[in-house]
């Protein structure tokens, strides 16, 4: 393998687990600083958490919502360009046409907007005695898949609850994605039960890397995030994991290792497409 090919098959991913406060300017300033820190340690792709610019919850979405472009995405664009990284901007509450969305913006090393992913599956759950949450009371769902190319690999984007839907990850894998990223804010009920389990499942099912970015845990918040941002490899192993506090974690993504796994257990060529299939109704941005 040539030195160039080898270099392009390996890259460093950074996941920022941000301590999100009620002060948007502080959130943006700290996020920018941690992106710079991550780039300084050789990261080529940096992932921020869900609702990185605001507290998470229906009572906050309208107050913190922005149009795109806006204050938060301007910071993301500048941080990506200054540090020459692909920056997956977690998510922010987006206002567009009188509707609110939970939106992830991705920026390239030139500072240009590559895509917007609006959360497809809204977080509407009711676990008696533990948690009830209804994103659909204030948010509208997105309607497309979201993928982007890097010099290293193709990346599929989901937000939090999107990770529970195996079909989305399957489609991303079939469309050539080797890394799936999910900014997410699981809570103290669903976090310990399903956060890591779902990531490992998506990784093993599709033989891809999976990365999740959570806000840091704030016990005083109205919605307490689980934290524990994680990176899982195609064998289903956790290769990097944060605790509950603010942190930046790193993982060296090895695409040759991914290729080896797919050769050793060749499920991509063993599927029975004559018996079953998963297809997309609408093509997404890529």
DSSP 8-state class, residue 93:
E
Q: How far apart are CA 92 and CA 118, in angstroms?
A: 10
Residues annotated as part of the active site: 50, 119, 160
Nearest to 18 by CA among 36, 39, 41, 34: 34
Sign of the Cα pseudo-torsion (183, 178, 45, 151, in order)? negative
Give 146's strand partners: 285
Give the position of tokens 């999740």.
212
90 and 48 Cβ atoms separated by less than 8 Å: yes
Tell which residue, 22, 14, 19, 71, has the closest CA to residue 45: 14
């Amino acid at each position: 393998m040539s030195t160039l090919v080898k270099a392009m098959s390996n890259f460093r991913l950074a996941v920022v687990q941000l301590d999100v406060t009620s002060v948007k300017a502080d959130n943006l300033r700290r996020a920018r600083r941690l992106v710079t820190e991550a780039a300084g340690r050789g990261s080529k792709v940096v992932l921020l958490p869900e609702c990185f610019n605001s507290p998470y919850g229906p009572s906050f979405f309208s107050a913190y919502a922005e149009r795109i472009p806006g204050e938060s995405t301007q910071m993301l664009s500048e941080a990506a360009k200054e540090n020459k990284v692909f920056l997956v901007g977690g998510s922010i509450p987006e206002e567009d046409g009188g509707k609110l969305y939970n939106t992830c913006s991705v920026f390239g090393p030139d500072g240009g907007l590559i895509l917007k992913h609006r959360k497809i599956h809204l977080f509407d759950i009711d676990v008696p005695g533990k948690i009830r949450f209804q994103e659909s009371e204030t948010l509208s769902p997105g309607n497309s898949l979201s993928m982007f190319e890097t010099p290293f690999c193709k990346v599929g984007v989901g937000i939090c609850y999107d990770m529970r839907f195996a079909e989305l990850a399957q489609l991303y894998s079939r469309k050539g994605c080797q890394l799936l990223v999910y900014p997410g804010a699981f809570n103290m009920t669903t976090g310990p039960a399903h956060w890591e389990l779902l990531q490992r499942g998506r990784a093993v099912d599709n033989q891809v890397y999976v990365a999740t970015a959570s806000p840091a845990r704030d016990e005083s918040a109205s919605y307490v995030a689980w934290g524990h941002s994680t990176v899982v490899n195609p064998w289903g192993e956790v290769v990097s994991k944060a605790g509950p506090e603010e942190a930046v974690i790193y993982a060296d993504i090895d695409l040759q290792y991914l290729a080896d796994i797919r050769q050793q257990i060749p499920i991509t060529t063993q599927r029975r497409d004559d018996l079953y299939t998963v297809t997309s109704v609408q093509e997404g941005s890529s």
